[in-house]
Amino acid sequence: MHASVKSIGKRLIPLRVRVWVANYLARRLTLKPIAPRQCPICDFQGWFDRFGRPPRLDALCPRCGSLERHRLLFLAMTRGAVTEGIDEATDPVLHFAAEPQLERIFRARFGNYKTADLFEKADLKINMEDMDLPDGKFRLIIANHVLEHVDDFKASSEIARILSDDGILVAMVPIVEGWETSYENPEITDETGRWLHFGQGDHVRYYGRDFSSRIERGGLKLKHEITAEGKDVVTYGLVRGEKVFVFGKK
């Protein structure tokens, strides 16, 4: 009897409706937070929200809006893994596409801090691939999920030019380190295609483990990496294995 009712239901209910119901129930049952987390940026403790496409659990801090990459970068910066040797009161700092969650903190922390963006409101309106800035001006440059939007050879060459001799670039990007080479396809130019191929509608590549060598072509050299691992992943809701890359001048 049960099998017979089930068979009738399949014939009467369109496939697209059955799929929608199955997906809806799956979301309600599985897309729930795993455990309370802590945001090191705003000190929120509790349940994080899901975020992304496809959604990532425990990704978004409901108080300050930070994502995993913001929290990892913040931890790296505040623990001294990045800023050792930098005079925070006077050394010039340039932050591309500054995230509001971090801009507020970095602006208070660094005495000579500037933001840069070509399209959004910022202290400096500049094209990362062709910057109207003097050589050797900045001691620290921050580019968190920016290089995947641009010609990274032009951008890294310009960054190397405007960095001081002892300057550093701090960068994060979407990366699959299981891939030997980064994935690009110049024929993919529409937003839907870029979502499908590169994970976001305004990305032009998805990086592989050749990321550092690509950036080094412009005149920089990888100094070290900070990796999300262990207890930090659990406590702060980080992506396992995500990295902060720190480059210096050759």
pTM: 0.86
Q: Return the closest-CA partner of residue 95 out of 74, 120, 113.
A: 113
Taking the C-alpha atoms of residue 166 and residue 123, their distance in angstroms, rounded to an integer, is 24
In contact, 47 and 36? CB cutoff 8 Å? yes
Q: In the numeric block, which tokens belong to residue 69?
A: 């990459």
Report the C-alpha gap between 156 and 220 in whole angstroms: 7
* Nearest CA among 33, 48, 76, 50 for reference residue 228: 76
pLDDT in tens, the chain (250 residues): 454 544 544 455 777 766 665 565 555 556 788 899 999 999 999 999 999 888 899 999 999 999 999 999 999 999 988 888 899 999 999 999 999 999 999 999 999 999 999 999 999 999 999 999 999 999 999 999 999 999 999 999 999 999 999 999 999 999 999 999 999 999 999 999 999 999 999 999 999 999 999 999 999 999 999 999 999 999 999 999 999 999 998 7
Nearest to 157 by CA among 195, 129, 184, 191: 129
Give the model's pLDDT for residue 81: 82
pLDDT at 5: 43
> How many CA atoms within 13 Å lie on the side-chain side of 3?
0
Which of 72, 128, 68, 66 minimizes the C-alpha distance to 103? 66
